[in-house]
Amino acid sequence: MSDENKRQTGHSILRYRVRLYDRHFAWLKETRELYTKVVGHFFQVLKKESELLEQSDFLLLRVLETKCIGTKEMKAKGQLPEFPLTGFPKIPLYFRRSAINAAIDLVRKDAGSMEPNMVLYKGMYQNFTDHTIDLKLFNGEKWVWVTYPFTGREFPTEAIRLSPLLVIEKKNAWLEVPLSFEVTDVRTVKERMKTEERICAVSFPDNDVLAVAVILSEDGKEEQHRFFRGGKAREHRRRILMERLRVSEESRGLAAGKAEQKAEAQFRNEKEDAATYRALRDLNHHYAHSISRQILNFCLEQNIKVIVVPNYETSIDFRDKKYLKTDAYRWLGRSIISNLKYKAFGQGIVVTSVRPYHITDCCSECGAKIRRYNEGHSAGQNYYGGKLFLCPNGHSGNVARNTAINVGKSFLTYYQK
Ligand SMILES: [Zn+2]
């Protein structure tokens, strides 16, 4: 393959979760537990015979099958395998191979706990449609096929579905389906910047505006900008949920009566709280998903190939940044960025980052320290929450937009042609 072809293709993987219809839950559980036990068997063999690990996974699979199942020749001669799968029901071929690979994976990763992912190989499932899947399950006596409808987000038609994982959580069963998207343009940032004339830079304030995107030309001039809103609506929903948690916390202290009644109230509260935390999480997922999608659409409209965001992973310190003072359920910047990264990649757009160094406190026009204020107030050095700014040289405007321009300019200085 020529270099030219190589860079035209690539894949990004996205994981979708769908919930299986509540049907024969005991069989799902039984099958999952059997899987863990079978993985455990191969895991122990590998631990005993660790010199086997020098071989490739492919050879290792065959060696383990010989050691635990035997070969036709061995059967003909009446020879027993070294580590037979005794005490197990008959294990179908693909179930066994999946378990062997899971065991190899656990040993190679040197995983301490035995919590293997249950990957469903073809043969463990069939008829995987957009809304149902047939699973081969062990019902305690024998293997049976069961059809499961499932609910969740629709699978995108352009994606290829890879082997799903069966996930059991308390009373629910889920399929986690890796989806492979073809990426048409996998050039690196550096390669792209040789030809790109415009970039998109984004900042993530925490008010009604959740993101600001600016399109900059290669010399750092702003061509376009867009504000992405929804912070107020989200904050309203979030407050209601936070209030629910507060009330629950209070009532826990008030629960009177006998020990059992207290314990019962405690249990009920914990269940309710768990539901509230889930709702908070879902609320954040919703906005992170929606805002990142809108930013991406803006970039697609503008034919942008490089998106620049502040790199918050390494250098943000919430203790010092009073204006970002927040809790885990509030500021969305990081989750919007991670959503944006995989969505953009699937569209051939790369998301890169710059250190958030002096991006919020300097004027993007002249570099002087800015003072923030809100409409009707006067500007001050410590006006952290201010949405507007003034610089000593007379520049002014929206703080978040100024931040986005600084992010973009900071990136462009690396790639000056
Ligand atoms: Zn200025």
Is 189-230+295-415 a CATH 3.30.420.110 domain?
yes
**From the CA of 370, how far away is ligand 1's center (Å)?**
7
pLDDT tens, residue by residue, 6-56: 444 567 778 888 999 999 999 999 999 999 999 999 999 998 988 888 888
DSSP line for 86-121: TTS-PPPHHHHHHHHHHHHHHHHTT-SS----EE--
- Strand-pairing partners, residue 200, are 215, 307
**From the CA of 115, how far away is ligand 1's center (Å)?**
57
Angle at 402 between CA 397 and CA 408, to 5 degrees: 150
**From the CA of 353, how far away is ligand 1's center (Å)?**
24
**What is the Cα–Cα distance from 272 to 244, expressed in whole angstroms?**
9
User: How many C-beta neighbours within 10 Å does residue 363 have?
Assistant: 22
Domain boundaries, the chain: 3-182, 189-230+295-415
**From the CA of 207, how far away is ligand 1's center (Å)?**
24
pLDDT tens, residue by residue, 48-83: 988 888 888 889 999 999 999 998 888 899 888 999
**From the CA of 223, how far away is ligand 1's center (Å)?**
18
**What's residue 320's pLDDT?**
43
pLDDT tens, residue by residue, 138-193: 999 999 999 999 998 888 877 889 999 999 988 899 999 998 877 666 778 888 88
**What is the Cα–Cα distance from 191 to 306, expressed in whole angstroms?**
11
CA–CA distances in Å: residue 202 to residues 76, 90, 224, 381: 69, 57, 12, 24
**From the CA of 390, how far away is ligand 1's center (Å)?**
8
**From the CA of 324, how far away is ligand 1's center (Å)?**
23
- Strand-pairing partners, residue 310, are 354
30: helix, strand or coil: helix
* More reliable by pLDDT, 44 or 328: 44
Please, are residues 98 and 42 in contact by the beta-carbon 8 Å criterion? no
Predicted TM-score (pTM) of the model is 0.61
